[in-house]
Structure 1
Amino acid sequence: MTLPQPDRVDGYVDLRSYAAIGDGRTVALVALDGSIDWYPTPDLDSTPAFARLLDAANGGQIELRPAADFTVERSYVEGTNVLATTFFTDTGSVRVTDSLNTGVAGRLPWGELARRIEGLDGEVEMRWSVAPGSSFNTASPWVQHSVHGPVLQVQGTTMAVRGRDIGEEQASDRDLSGTFTTGAGSRHLLAVVSTHEEPLPLPDLDTIDDGVDRTIANWQDWSREFQYDGPWADAVERSALALKLLLHSPTGAIAAAATTSLPENVNGGKNWDYRFAWVRDTAYTLNAMIRFGLREEVHAAVSGMLKSVREQGTDLKVFTRLNGSRADGAEVLDLPGWRGIGPVVNGNDAAAQLQMGVFGDLFNIVQLYVDAGHVLDTGTGRYLADLADLACDVWQRKDSGMWELDEERHYTTSKLGAWHALSCASHLADLGQIPGTPERWRAEMERIRNWVETNCWSEERGSYVWYPGTDQLDASILLHAISGFDRGERMNSTLDALRGELGRGPLLYRFSGAEKEEGTFVACAFWMAAALDCVGRRDEAAALMDELVPLANDVGLYTEMIAEEDSSFLGNFPQGLSHLALITAALTLGEDRD
């Protein structure tokens, strides 16, 4: 698909313009015009030296593009997270291959962003610049002149630009830039090598260029381990690769998204930091990875998550930092935000909330792991038995719900999170994997079921409601068609009620009234497809999938939300939960077709 040169409105491009590349510790976002507008180093949750995404004036970027007007085509190299972009101008065409290089045995011990440029035909004048930003207004970048050439410094991060045939390097006191011209068959290289608070290696140019090919081979080796031949296979593979981007290789933690503070509402006010590892997202990711036969990622994610939660004791947190430590509350930063829509935040206040769904998510992780043929250690088994006993009591409390709201209530799906935890715990006890009293757990499951069926069903609405005493609806109930709590007449009727009130074409809002403050929630729409299949409405489910899958951007990625008016992207990007929900729906429908 050939696309026009994107417009930059006050320095910002539409969120659909971005593609993501990564190396197992961080993610860079590449705009359709060749500008890298987001690149935290060394880790995804580090303060980024390149953050034009949130601050066009001072955020910093790595530019590489034709000097003249252009059109563009791009796609990922097959089976990889390496991006190939072809620019077409009136005088010729050129291909740029963007890679966050990996090493022979995984991530390199430094950051290595490589941009290979190949002239295809004619001549194209190219311009480039490497301009670090202010690291969220905490530092002023500067150029240090060393015996090996200029070095960029900002907030403990040291960077060098390595280039081949990219013209004469121009250095200011804050950035480096240059111009060069491609011809048919010419080959060039622009690379940024970085470290944080440690010495900086300077790999030779052949090694960096070879690293692009090695990175492509590494991704393709991983993709060959990926086992899926069901419906919507291309979208499922791309979603799996997107999730792999979000997996933090040192700990196995899975980030919810690669960014912070991209707005859910164009009027501002709903901006969050998603560079944390949610227990919920880990559970859904493991479900997919186990199905795909990805053993190493599964074990890393399970062991990392269990280590983290055991350190918390019975005070379970909804999410942790990528290194496994407790997350901090939100700090509001003095930055404009994408297209001036603030606030920009570092951290997330939901870190201190009670969400009972986390019990179900954690037990779901463990059951998936055990049912895949693995064994728990004794200490983990005892810890989980204690948590199951706690779930028997804590489900009667109010909490903030799955949507992390400020007002605590008796949310329906929070109770069902406890129900799911006890279901999994009973199953694990039956297998001899955890000690405890499953008789009590099963009895409490029935109490929860009776409570939900008595208090959370509305005959008038023909639907499960958000919480007792309201007629408002909540799309997270869809997860409990998938979990198996209800696949009968009540759930069937609930799906119709949800589509009637919250649906906008194939898309779905999270809950009643959400349309006043945010876009439609991509994951909810895919959960609807899976839920339709679970209640036996398979043709409707497949038709819905056929409408939803093309709503990705040109490289197959989804953000958190999509505006119903014009299908523009809203929220953090790429959003793991959106891709997880696509995979869940595809696997669910694929099982039934098989």
Structure 2
Amino acid sequence: MRDLAVIGDRRTCALVTTLGSIVWYCPDRFDSPSLFAALLDPQHGGSWSLNLPDATFTNRYYFEDSGVLETAIATANGELKVLDWMPIGEQTPQGICRRFSEAPTDFTVVLQPAPDYARRSPNVQFADDRSLANVVKVDGGGYLYASHPLTISKQTFQSVGLQVHFTIPQGETGWAVLLNQPLPLPTQQTVDDWLTSTLERWRLLARHGAYHGCYQDQVAASVRALRLLTFEETGGIVAAATTSLPEAIGAERNYDYRYVWLRDAGMVVSALIRAERDGLEARQFLDFVCGYDRCSSNNLPLAPVAAVDGKAVPNEVTLNLAGYCNSRPVRFGNRAKSQLQLDALGNVLLVGSLIYSHFETDEHWSIVEAVANYLAEHWREPDHGIWEEETKAQYTVGKVLAACGLMHIAEFARSDAQAQRWRSTEQDIRRFVAEQCLTSGGAYAAFAGSEAVDVSAALFPIWGYAAADAPEMVATMDVLEREYAIAHLYRRHLVEADSQQEGAFLAGTLWVAQYWVARGDLQRTRAILDAALVYANDVGLFAEEADPHTSQMLGNFPQTFVHAAFIDAVIDLNAALEKAK
């Protein structure tokens, strides 16, 4: 997973390896069926690769603050540079563009489509005019155009069946584009113009950036990750680009994260507000949260997760793919869409209060108000918790985030009676937590009656529920350090699985870093940040989890929750450092 980078057009994205293979791509939008899924099944999943003799990775980087990626690959005869991007901007098509520098040796570019998660054989054929040997129609992917004549061949040793390839001779440059729609045959100049438009669009996005300080380059990489995983049309930010990358190799906790979670909203919006000049993308996320279909079988004011167009997430389906490192099942869809998650609804109120206080507005008040009223009426119910357990319980984090949400949104209530009701409910929740949700040692329990704790408690001071040095917080952090930490990385607590079998949870690790800023221990904060950064790859992308024993990245990739948590922790640290000067 470390060798993956992301290119995207703020509708969908593709994952590119260090040797220039595109191993994951869902045309049209993030949660569409895949065309390339070699990431989840190297033999049958489909890819767009380079057959380059004796190739070794040299380096790669993104142009400026864009999603345009250049990869340098060494051979015995010299270096090949591959420029990959997805066009975005005025008068650009949708798809993938690839540009190749002067070839150090003959090499072949090979496209092996596997449409609909490799559930059907591809139909690949030349354009109607057979004189156009540079144009092939690719089932499930659109139209492939190339600088050199294309060949279609059958690969009998693979179930993918058909491949399209072309050769770039030594000393020549080349390009290829896979587009969603038919166009007149592009020229090198056409492709270059699309690159120019794309870079200009990314420059406009970069102008929203405002952060300068410690870990500046790493924060910029995290902001890029959030932008790459934004569905621009609606403002929704998906949890990750992938589905079914395992939380533990060979285990079954493999889920589809290509959707938008309310649970992530507070952290993501906080990061965007603080890392941007104008908060435009943060407000667009609130637009999405409050604008999507209220699609829930449990009569919730908002479902905890939605598709990128704001509609209901598909029912969960198991796919016949081998799985990443043979980790199965492989799924699309997500059954969490019908769960009651109190923390997710509390996040909506946190997002509303952040936007309202920062921009002096009250947009989407009717939805925010409905969520607050729902929490005031239903907070006593057991829910599925922040980790979406099948087993319902009185999860402490859900109670606390409901209380925090009500506390903050009460500042914007339309009447004294409304504010009083929400504040009274907040106090009721606080009494419940104090009486039911503490361990025998006085720490915040993972759920009522439990002696375990969860790393989500590190958020409590961040959202203003408790002082960082409150006895309950001190006791909680002591247990986390003793039982859930290794090498400055922290596990979460799971009810239905042994979290010791999965990796450290990186978002939670970064919440702990942010907690220690509040405690004034900046040296410890830096140690935790540096430990987490070991598990960012060379282009600054985090997966969901990290295995401190094997150094593997685990879980879906890249994970926006982690990137947002990193931004928030660093900005808090930088503010503390500035204050200490």
- Check the 8 A contact 1:141/1:152 in 2, yes or no: no
What are the within-5 Å matches in structure 2 for residues 172-571 of structure 1? 172=153, 174-183=162-171, 187-195=173-181, 202-291=185-274, 292-308=276-292, 314-377=300-363, 380-429=364-413, 432=414, 437-460=418-441, 462-487=442-467, 488-511=470-493, 514-571=498-555
Choose from 89, 96, 120 the match for 1:103: 89
Q: Which amino acid aligns with 1:154?
A: D
- In 2, distance between residues paired with 1:370 and 1:311? 25
User: Segments of 4+ in structure 1 off by > 6 A?
Assistant: none
Deviations 1:66-117 (A, max 9, x none): 2224342112222122111111122111211111111227xx4x42311111
Deviates more, 1:336-345 or 1:254-263: 336-345
Rounded to whole Å, the distance in 1 between the matches of 2:417 and 2:263 is 24
Q: Does the 8 Å contact 1:523/1:582 carry over to 2?
A: yes
Helix, strand or coil: the match of 1:587?
Answer: helix
For residue 205 of structure 1, report the CA deviation from its aligned partner: 3.3
User: 1:496 Cα deviation (Å)?
Assistant: 2.3
Q: Helix, strand or coil: the match of 1:37? A: strand
Cα-to-partner distance string for 1:393-441 (whole Å, 9 max, x where unaligned): 2111101000000110001111112101211221112xx5x88611121
Q: Secondary structure at the match of 2:106?
A: strand
Quickly say closer, same or farther: Cα 1:519–1:581, change in 2 above 3 A. same
- State how far apart, in whole Å, the 1-side matches of 2:417 and 2:146 are: 62
**Aligned with 2:325: secondary structure?**
helix
State how far apart, in whole Å, the 2-side matches of 1:319 and 1:517 are. 26
> What TM-score comes out, normalization by structure 2 length?
0.92
Equivalent-residue separation in structure 2 for 1:249 and 1:435 (angstroms): 38
Check 1:436–1:86 CA distance in 2 against 1; reply closer, same or farther (3 A cut).
farther
Q: Distance in 1 between matches of 2:81 and 2:278?
A: 32
* Counterpart residue type for residue 153 of structure 1: V
Using the size of structure 1 for normalisation, the TM-score is 0.90
The percentage of aligned residue pairs carrying the same residue is 30
SS of corresponding position for 2:534: helix
Q: Is the 8 A contact 2:238 2:257 kept in 1?
A: yes
Extract unaligned runs of 5+ from structure 2.
155-161
Instruction: Report the AA paired with residue 507 of structure 1.
Output: L
> Is the contact between residue 269 and residue 342 of structure 1 (CA under 8 Å) also seen in structure 2?
yes
**Structure 1: unaligned runs, 5 residues or longer:** 1-14
Q: Are the aligned partners of 1:248 and 1:322 in contact in 2 as well (CA < 8 Å)?
A: yes
Aligned counterparts of 2:446 and 2:368: Cα–Cα separation in 1: 29
Is the 1:278–1:319 Cα contact (8 Å) retained in structure 2? yes
Q: CA deviation at 1:482?
A: 0.9
Q: 2:159 maps to what in 1?
A: none
Query: Hey, what does 1:45 align to over in structure 2?
Result: 31
Secondary structure at 1:32 match in 2: coil
| Distance 1:385-1:163 versus aligned 2 partners, 3 A rule | closer
Q: Would the aligned equivalents of 2:235 and 2:288 in 1 still touch at CA under 8 Å?
A: yes
Equivalent residue in structure 2 for 1:80, among 51, 57, 66: 66
**What residue in structure 2 maps to residue 11 of structure 1?**
none
C-alpha distance after superposition, 1:278-334 (max 9, x if no partner): 112233222122222244323322212211166767443111110001223311112
3-state secondary structure, aligned to 2:169: strand
State the SS of the aligned residue for 1:16: coil
Q: Given that residues 522 and 578 in structure 1 are in contact (C-alpha distance below 8 angstroms), is that contact kept between their aligned partners in structure 2?
A: yes
**1:91 alignment partner AA:** N
For residue 204 of structure 1, what is the amino acid of its counterpart?
Answer: T
How many residue pairs end up in the alignment? Answer: 560
Q: Once the 2 structures are TM-superposed, how far is the Cα of residue 143 of structure 1 from its aligned partner?
A: 2.0
Distance in 1 between residues matched to 2:295 and 2:552, nearest whole Å: 41
Contact 1:310 1:383 in 2 (8 A): no
Letter in 2 for 1:454: E
**Residue 6 of structure 1 corresponds to which residue in structure 2?**
none
SS at match of 1:317: coil
